[in-house]
Copies of this chain bind each other. A is one copy, B any other.
């Protein structure tokens, strides 16, 4: 009450030397002579505070280097402003791009990321369970969850929202999910090859238990059917997403004399393997055989591989946006109304598809 004006008393370590403890609301309160309630109101931009008080508090907070303690705030607000991100233990090239997208969206909303990689397959459920309770995060993003590890039971049991990125297809009605348009992307690629007059196609398949692979194969078939291509002209080659299966498939084809005039590989790794085999065998790309892949790995650019870009950053950013949306909507999102956001792919024409008209779009990442 007795507020001596302009009291510049030796406040506790104004910006002193030692790594002193962080300033608290009480410190600001003492320095300004105002109550912690008022100080808190100013610092949170709440109404009903006089301009005088506002000025004093802001000045003192700046001097003291005040920053609200996250734990105390989380405790009373019942909200941490953190989002958890769980990665599978499997080494995955995409991971970085997805995380960059998540980071972008999270930071735009002023939230922070808690990131964890499963150390092994058994570790994943533990990790998820750890984030689901404990109040460490307000929402959880799980990448590429392994089919088996359903630490996730019933959506309605959970106290925080969970968003799956590139999760198993069968959980789509059951879980909030963000994925890419695998089918449309593959359709686009095959259609592109057909539009360039290629007719004797080979489809290099991915691992059959991988949902990306299955969907891409389906997209390729859809394009072939729509164009009315004779199935006798199409070869379906088995692969498993690894480079050597692309390489081997081409060598087998040359052995049996069944070389196509175009190859669509369900991912870039296999496409690059196929291109290497073609080069070794003296076949020219794209003159003799056109090749398209899927994913748009950095290496694709380097080798001029035309491909379908997997919108990884967009998927990451979208998953964060969905999580935030669910967090802000409050807990009871119920079992109904699951999100299933499908991020569009885009065709990237380089040299391997053999269309001179197409120019490579800028490698920008403007909006995600």
Contacts and interface: CB of A to CB of B under 8 A. Distances in A.
Interface in A111-166: 112-117, 119, 130, 133-136, 156-159
B133 A22 contact: yes
Contacts of A208: none
A133 B82 contact: no
Contacts of A75: 69, 71-72, 75
> Contact residue range for chain A?
35 or more
Given A69-B134, A134-B67, A20 B159 contact: yes
Nearest to A332: B19
A55 to B, nearest CB: 22
A20 to B, nearest CB: 7
Interface string A291-335: 000000001001000000000000000000000000000011000
B135 A107 contact: no
A134 B68 contact: yes
A21 interface: yes
Given A22-B159, A96-B95, A134-B67, A114 B112 contact: yes
Interface string A99-116: 110011001000011111
A19 B96 contact: no
Nearest to A77: B71
A82 B112 CA distance: 12
Contacts of A332: 18-19
A80 interface: yes
A261 interface: no
A290 B201 CA distance: 40
Nearest to A154: B17
A27 interface: no
Q: Is the interface of A mostly helix, strand, loop or mixed?
A: mixed
A114 B131 CA distance: 13
Nearest to A79: B71
A243 interface: yes
Contacts of A113: 114-116
Contacts of A69: 75, 134-135
A74 interface: yes
Nearest to A269: B302
Contacts of A95: 96
Contact of A134 (B18, B70, B100): B70
Interface of A: 17-22, 65, 67-72, 74-75, 80, 82, 85, 95-96, 99-100, 103-104, 107, 112-117, 119, 130, 133-136, 156-159, 243, 299, 302, 331-332
Given A18-B332, A19-B331, 14 more contacts: A19-B158, A21-B159, A22-B159, A67-B130, A69-B135, A70-B71, A70-B136, A71-B80, A71-B135, A82-B114, A104-B119, A107-B119, A113-B115, A114-B115
